[in-house]
Amino acid sequence: MEDGETRLFRLQREIHRLRTSPSLRLGSHLTNAIRMPWLAPFLIFSLPWMMLMIGFELLGWKSQPAALEINSSGRLSSKGNCIVMFPTNGVGFGHFTRMLAVAKRMKSIDSKLEIIFFTTMPTLHLLKPYGIPAHHISGPKYFRDMDSAEWNSLLEEELNICFETHRPSMFLFDGAFPYRGMLRAIQGRKSMEKLWMRRGTFRKGSSIPVDSIQYFDTIIHPEDSVSTAGDNLDHDLEVITCPPIVMLDHDELLSKEKSRSRLGLPQDATVVYVQLGAGEINEIESEVRLTLEALLENPEVYIVLGESLIGERIHFELPRVQILRDYPNSVYFRGFDATVQAGGYNSFHETRTFGLPALFYPNMNTGMDDQLARCKVAEQEGWGIVLETRTPKKIKNYCRQLILSIGPKNQLSVENGAHILSKTLVSHLIED
């Protein structure tokens, strides 16, 4: 049962939410004109202007009204050893994996830390081995007839309940686009340090809400293998950088023998891991199907085809092909001789860290994520080849070239940013 202070604050927050809602603000504007008739003639100008400004707020182009100031004493004060982490989910596991990589290492540094996940990711069972509890909220597309404003109100309420229950001293968000409901929930919480982990820098002209950065105290930028320099937004927040974050360390990978035994693969075969993430395998002209057929022309090659836990099931039959639906798939990397990858951030740096010869198919239509530049680093370092434009003939030739490149694995000396960042964040807690 909630105590009186918590209940009082929830009622105050609800009153504040109603007072600052677009409908009440517009209604108050009209009511004022009725009470003061001399204002009525100006409604033809003031009402459209107010509607325009509120529209800009909802689109993230203008700052929203100030949040309710939150009492930092008593029941609502923060606990020094509690952290709430909020990874969003995109098309893959990037945000979730970075958060979990940091969380498990923070807990290894300080076993008394209480780490809570609040996430739109449905794969909560992956947190169980690390003793991390979670709050889950489905994305707006999963609710029938729920628009963005309604979903953000739901998100705000559930996140506020999470904060009031666990009283974290740190909030860590990983996502490219901050939800408005999340921003409203963290606003005004002065006793909670708020950090935003975001790959790449903030570019001018990007679609993020104009005032979103100011809701945070610190920005974390995991580095990439390629420079992200550009025309960036100015801000005065603390910035933390770290090397690329990878979920596993070398000593966490299964041996070659155990990997192949678990996957039912011959110990003496040539095994290629394929993770392209796009394309319908049953379409004979799709890149993934052409790649599998090109690799299987070599009778000594077996293929492990990666299937995402949050993607649709793959239904097909080809000889010497195993489907791997696990997490993280990199735990089996010692059992693979080579890989064909798309060139996304996480998969690229896992492949680079664990020394797999690679053929990359960079996605040329990923907006701010320059996969081509990233994959070219693999060519410069001598462990990968890049196929920009894919045709059946080129795919066949490049797959042959990949098989010929297989030899002793040349593992680079790559520092895992998860170790560095976890130590930095724990030190922040100690300082607080």
pLDDT value at residue 368:
63
For residues 366 and 421, which has the higher predicted lDDT (pLDDT)?
421
Q: Which of 11-20, 290-299, 397-406 has the lowest mean pLDDT?
A: 11-20
| Residue of 26, 32, 67 lying closest to 49 (CA atoms) | 26
Q: Which of 60-69, 140-149, 255-264, 358-367 has the lowest mean pLDDT?
A: 60-69
pLDDT value at residue 231:
43
pLDDT value at residue 52:
77
| Spatial contact of 333 and 253, defined as CB atoms under 8 Å apart | yes
Give, for 266, the enclosing helix (H) or strand (E).
Answer: none
pLDDT value at residue 14:
63
Hunting for tokens 């400004």 — which residue is that? 53
Which tokens go with 70?
């939150």
Distance CA 428, CA 432 (A): 6
* Burial class of residue 285 (count of CB atoms within 10 Å of its CB; 0-12, 13-18, 19+): exposed
Query: Under 8 Å CB-to-CB from 424, ≥6 apart: which residues?
Result: 240, 242
Query: Under 8 Å CB-to-CB from 192, ≥6 apart: which residues?
Result: 78, 163, 168, 169, 170, 171, 186
Q: How confident is the model at residue 29 (pLDDT cuts 50, 70, 90)?
A: confident
Q: Which of 43-52, 53-62, 239-248, 404-413 has the highest mean pLDDT?
A: 239-248
Q: Which of 32-36, 254-258, 317-321, 340-344 has the highest mean pLDDT?
A: 254-258
Q: Is the dihedral of CA 126, 80, 138, 224 positive or negative?
A: negative
Distance CA 271, CA 12 (A): 61
| Residue of 195, 174, 192, 169 lying closest to 114 (CA atoms) | 169
| Spatial contact of 420 and 426, defined as CB atoms under 8 Å apart | no
Tell whether the model's pLDDT for residue 40 goes beyond 90. no
| Spatial contact of 337 and 272, defined as CB atoms under 8 Å apart | yes
**CB half-sphere exposure, 295, CA atoms < 13 A:** 28
Distance CA 27, CA 134 (A): 39
Q: How confident is the model at residue 244 (pLDDT cuts 50, 70, 90)?
A: very high
Which tokens go with 194?
């708020």
pLDDT value at residue 322:
93
Q: How confident is the model at residue 1 (pLDDT cuts 50, 70, 90)?
A: very low
* pLDDT (tens digit per residue) in 81-93: 899 999 997 667 8
pLDDT value at residue 166:
93
Q: Which percentage of the chain shows pLDDT scores above 70?
A: 81
Distance CA 46, CA 395 (A): 62
Distance CA 66, CA 211 (A): 12
pLDDT value at residue 59:
64
Neighbouring C-beta atoms of residue 278, cutoff 10 Å: 11
Q: Which percentage of the chain shows pLDDT scores above 90?
A: 52
Distance CA 31, CA 192 (A): 38
* pLDDT (tens digit per residue) in 294-332: 999 999 999 999 988 887 887 777 899 999 999 999 999
Which tokens go with 380?
């410069």
pLDDT value at residue 207:
56
For range 207-234, the mean pLDDT: 75
* Burial class of residue 208 (count of CB atoms within 10 Å of its CB; 0-12, 13-18, 19+): middle
pLDDT value at residue 202:
53
For range 280-302, the mean pLDDT: 84
pLDDT value at residue 74:
44
**Strand pairing partners for 193?**
170
Which tokens go with 61?
């182009």
Tell whether the model's pLDDT for residue 75 goes beyond 50. no
DSSP E strands, 46-158: 82-87, 114-119, 134-136
